[in-house]
Structure 1
Amino acid sequence: MEPQSIRAQCEDAGVELVRLLYVGNDGHIHGHSVKRAHLEDALESGIQLPTLIQSFNALGMRVKDADFDAVGEVRLVPDRSTFRVLDHEDSVAAVCCSLYETDDQTPWAADPRSALSGFISTLADEGVVPSTALESEFHFYTPGDEGGADDEPHGTRGLYATASMREFNEIVLETIDALESQQITVTKHCPEYAAGQHELVTKHREGLTAVDDYVFLRETVAAIAESHGFETTFLPFPFETATNGCHINLSLWNDSNLFAPTDADRALSPMGRHFVGGVLDHLPALLALTSPTVNSYARLQPQSGAAAFCCWGIGNREAAIRVPELPADKRESATRIEFRPADNTANPYLSLLGLLAAGWDGVQNETDPGLPLDEDPGNCRDELLDQRGIERLPTTLGEALDALEQNDVLRSALGEQLFDSYLTVKRSEWDVFTDSAGTWQQDIFREAF
């Protein structure tokens, strides 16, 4: 889309500010706003940013010994194809951006979106295109008066409760309308088990588009909830007995679905099985990208519907990888894998990059995933798990980061600069958590001991 066309759309819609959005190592969505009068220059060459943006962690802390400090700049360059007018906000549009060196031509080696784009190009050279949809779970809640201690999830509790549908019908309809005005097709909404918990499922999209759509979805859900007096949280474990995931549905295509089986007795093609084998092979390290906060591991518990074991299964929602059960006439179009141990604290570009890199390594090496597990691994005897080689996933962020540090496949996919800066930032979060152990819950332990 040409800058003149974007400016004309802004004038027609009365847009005064255009947000330039990006996601950093911290997993947060960030941005700058540009006035319409200065838009064309920003669309052509971007705006200047300090490199130290990649040295902040999810706690909002600048990591002092990180890879980037006060010296150095890059440019935030819009991908003009992602431009959308935000009809649900006053006089605002937005566009997703990548980070470039100051020459405006060279992608910055520490930019997650550019790294994913590069890997997708590598797959394209092999005649392969990923088709992806991210399922986003989140909570509506009412802010309390005690700095978060008395926040309360709002709504009726109960799996797929129609009472919750009725309570939030106006907000959900408004959100869907806003998303579809941005060319994001919502295929399903459902209330989840916990009070105030909901899920929106969007249509599969190719390449980067699915992740860009997810960024816009996050922003849209939050904005519309705020207009109705609610806060939203996408945190993996926001309240007791409540979790939020971001399941990644993925298939690979050329002219047809490369995961679709030709054998009616199988759920996946050989390529699909090898892809699953690669993901399982790299899963402990992959979690550091897809479940990248301390809070993530409170979600990844047995029999919580979030996946706690390194296994795959057909229709198995306790497996790390679920292959949905499909009727025969849907296999060609809808066969896919659903990666379950992913959440919304991740940088979504890194989540998909890691998943693609792990799976593609399995395709290249024809990695055998073993037999699918047809029962809840949390109910399996230890002897069966040992026999099948099914292990518990990492139980802490520190354990996952240790696995990531040793993983050459993911290191290569991210590139040294992005890999090292990401690892340093996430190590800082783990260090803050472990350093707090000395004072954590002193009042409770005083009473107990």
Structure 2
Amino acid sequence: MTTLADPVPGGRPGDVERATALSGELAGRGVHGIVLAYVDTAGIGRVKTVPTAKLPSAAAWGVGMSPVFDSFLAHDSIVTTDVLGSPDGDLRLYPDLDHLVVLSGQPGWAWAPVDRITQEGEPHPGCSRTFLRRITADAEQRHGLTFRAAVEIEWAVGRGDAPGGEFEPAVSGPAYGAVRQVELSDCAADLLAALAAQGVDVDQFHPEYAAGQFEVSVGALDPVAAADRSVLVRQTVRAVAGRHGLKVSFAPAVLARGVGNGGHVHLSAWRDGTNLHSGGDGRYGMTAEAESFTAGLLARMPALTAVTAPSPASYLRLRPSQWAGVFGAWGRETREAALRVVTGTRGQRGQAANLEVKPVDLAANPYLALGCLIAAGLDGTASSASLPEEITGDPARFGEAEAAARGVRRLPVSLAEAVAAFRGDDVLRTALGPVLADAVIAVRRGEIAAVEGLDDEQVAVAYRWVY
């Protein structure tokens, strides 16, 4: 389980003693350094590292890092808000010892996610991991709800020796084809071994649709742990591929045309150990609460895309008839709808039933994405929101009048349109708080300005190796 208590100067009770013991154990296992990892507003993984011997100090007093990184863009230029973007100030990064793992894919290193507090010992209002912890803790305390979540990871494997930032697929063969699995066999086996050694529960690994594309699906955890796992899996994929002379991209669109990389989120709400998405009297076994939770997500999906699809490159992926979920609609196992209701196979539905949120990619900060999805769903349950009729097939076939009659709407077609929807959404901005909400808007506007005048191919190239 995720540590829910905020860090405090001097360390949480028992943390320093535990870190001291861990430091000796890790050193005995040949670990020389520890990666302290978090994700910024633009969705970029940022790190500091400490020697293994300094883990007790990090647990007690944290490690310094500027708050300016909350207003970094994907290409490292800086935007400002009323409180972020200044060269002033410092934050302390505190490792979550419950989620520290030895990196099998990077011998000599361990990894831990961090929470960030101010020098005065207060939670940093721009810390996305703290935000998600707060959302989940509040849901349990106020509503008696817990959640299970998982993030799918898709990536493109390129040749490490391709010239000038170009993408040349490292494998050939058709979509989902055996040829790809064979050609990547050694690297893939090392990846599965590394993930298993790191305690990552892998459900599936397979070639995907686009050129050189693969996907790994992992087991569901509490939302904070699921977001941590998403970051850890990507770190591991990149490290293992690099040791095989390969280069990977998690960018939403590696190329300007064709299917991009998704980061679909699977999410289910639970009460007292019972899955609300199964065994109820509603459609496909959903309880009334699960239907309202789904309706809450659906209502806020346009604004949510500013968080779940936060890059200009995201909108190269979000195109109709590519299973990206670009229509505000839901359906059972309908992969063209924004929300896919997954019932699971008979005999497993009590555990397996969940919602898949499709318009999500791996440019998204997973802590922000999961926190905002939960906030939107909770707003639906609080208001007993009604879930509209489901759709089947591809909504792109509907004419304008039929789509309107069915309540099916196209989600934002650009980051600018998504930001406009987000700015008008009081529920999401209130959930995030003013510092994080302003950071989301400022960073997205900065990304929009950064690609002004670029065509689709130039946008894809600009973000190809950033994520």
TM-score, length-scaled by structure 1: 0.94
Name the counterpart of 1:447: none
Name the counterpart of 1:45: 61
Is 1:379 the counterpart of 2:394 in the alignment?
A: no
Name the counterpart of 1:388: 406
Larger displacement relative to structure 2 (85-94 or 353-362): 85-94
Following TM superposition, by how much is the alpha carbon of 1:40 offset from its aligned partner in structure 2, in angstroms?
1.0
Is 1:246 the counterpart of 2:263 in the alignment?
A: yes
The total of aligned residue pairs comes to: 437
Q: What amino acid is aligned across from residue 275 of structure 1 in structure 2?
A: F
Q: What amino acid is aligned across from residue 287 of structure 1 in structure 2?
A: T
**2:338 aligns with one of 306, 313, 320:** 320
Cα deviation code 1:150-185 (max 9, x no counterpart): 321221242311111111122112111111111111
Could you tell me the percent identity over the aligned residues? Answer: 30
Is 1:419 the counterpart of 2:437 in the alignment?
A: yes
Query: Secondary structure of 1:99's match?
Result: strand
**1:209 aligns with one of 194, 214, 225:** 225
Is 1:274 the counterpart of 2:289 in the alignment?
A: no
Q: Matched residues in 2 for 1:46 and 1:315: separation?
A: 45
Q: Matched residues in 1 for 2:208 and 2:357: separation?
A: 18
Following TM superposition, by how much is the alpha carbon of 1:435 offset from its aligned partner in structure 2, in angstroms?
5.2
Q: What amino acid is aligned across from residue 85 of structure 2 in structure 1?
A: F
Conserved 8 A contact 1:236-1:299 = yes
Is 1:107 the counterpart of 2:123 in the alignment?
A: yes
Following TM superposition, by how much is the alpha carbon of 1:27 offset from its aligned partner in structure 2, in angstroms?
0.6
Q: 1:428 to 1:345 in 2, by over 3 A?
A: same
Is 1:337 the counterpart of 2:320 in the alignment?
A: no
Query: Secondary structure of 2:347's match?
Result: helix
Matching of residues 157-306 of structure 1 within 5 Å:
157-239=173-255, 240-254=257-271, 255-263=273-281, 266-306=284-324
Conserved 8 A contact 1:290-1:346 = yes
Conserved 8 A contact 1:63-1:425 = yes
Name the counterpart of 2:8: none
Q: What amino acid is aligned across from residue 203 of structure 1 in structure 2?
A: G
Conserved 8 A contact 2:311-2:363 = yes
Q: Matched residues in 2 for 1:366 and 1:265: separation?
A: 15
Q: What amino acid is aligned across from residue 56 of structure 1 in structure 2?
A: F
Conserved 8 A contact 2:39-2:46 = yes
Name the counterpart of 2:462: none
Following TM superposition, by how much is the alpha carbon of 1:324 offset from its aligned partner in structure 2, in angstroms?
1.9
Q: Matched residues in 2 for 1:263 and 1:406: separation?
A: 34
Is 1:360 the counterpart of 2:351 in the alignment?
A: no
Q: 1:107 to 1:265 in 2, by over 3 A?
A: closer
Cα deviation code 1:118-155 (max 9, x no counterpart): 0011011022111001111101001465422x321221
Q: Matched residues in 2 for 1:209 and 1:92: separation?
A: 20
Query: Secondary structure of 1:108's match?
Result: coil
Q: Matched residues in 2 for 1:401 and 1:73: separation?
A: 29
Q: What amino acid is aligned across from residue 117 of structure 2 in structure 1?
A: Y
Name the counterpart of 1:76: 93
Query: Secondary structure of 2:392's match?
Result: coil
Cα deviation code 1:200-235 (max 9, x no counterpart): 000111131111111100100000000001000001
Conserved 8 A contact 1:55-1:69 = no
Name the counterpart of 1:116: 132
Larger displacement relative to structure 2 (375-384 or 190-199): 375-384
Unaligned runs of 5+ in 2: 1-14, 460-467
Q: 1:88 to 1:143 in 2, by over 3 A?
A: closer
Q: What amino acid is aligned across from residue 32 of structure 2 in structure 1?
A: E
Q: Matched residues in 2 for 1:176 and 1:269: separation?
A: 37
Cα deviation code 1:363-396 (max 9, x no counterpart): 1111112011012101223332111111111000
Q: Matched residues in 2 for 1:74 and 1:327: separation?
A: 47
Q: What amino acid is aligned across from residue 19 of structure 2 in structure 1?
A: P
Query: Secondary structure of 2:375's match?
Result: helix
Query: Secondary structure of 2:300's match?
Result: helix
Q: Matched residues in 1 for 2:367 and 2:283: separation?
A: 34
Following TM superposition, by how much is the alpha carbon of 1:15 offset from its aligned partner in structure 2, in angstroms?
0.8
Is 1:97 the counterpart of 2:117 in the alignment?
A: no
Q: Matched residues in 1 for 2:378 and 2:123: separation?
A: 23
